[in-house]
Amino acid sequence: MTRGIKPDVDRFINDLMGKYLPFNYKGAPSLVQIAVRPLQLWEIVFPREHKDVVLNTVLCGDGKTQYKKHKKWITVLRKILGIQKIPEFKTDAVLPVYRANTEFIGVGIKEDYNFEDGTEAL
């Protein structure tokens, strides 16, 4: 975690990302850039009728963490947030988005309430 004035924190992160360290890659000396990877929690809001395409776009088919030991923490987070497990969804359509070098982990989903006239409240 970091705590500080935002421009100063950003500068620290940028400086750290600009550092390279010696690394033995497949028996050959090399340099590797320090990888600074933020952990971020996002709420994504979308119309109910587009659930399949949005979930498939964001979660790329499943949205499961690559680390099995993280599953228990995701379950705890879901309970804290008061959300449900992500339901099954169709994987036949996807929106074009940049996804390189990024892991997307689905925590859960929550239905929005409806206004008195039945309109979905986004």
Per-residue model confidence (pLDDT) at position 113: 84
For residue 27, name the pLDDT band (cuts at 50, 70, 90): very high
* Token pair in block for residue 10: 């950003």
Residue with tokens 């600009």: 18
For 55, other C-beta atoms within 10 Å of its C-beta total 24
The band of 28, judged by pLDDT with boundaries at 50, 70 and 90, is very high
| Percentage of the chain exceeding pLDDT 90 | 70
User: Tens digit of pLDDT for each residue in 75-119?
Assistant: 999 999 999 999 999 999 999 999 888 888 899 999 888 888 988
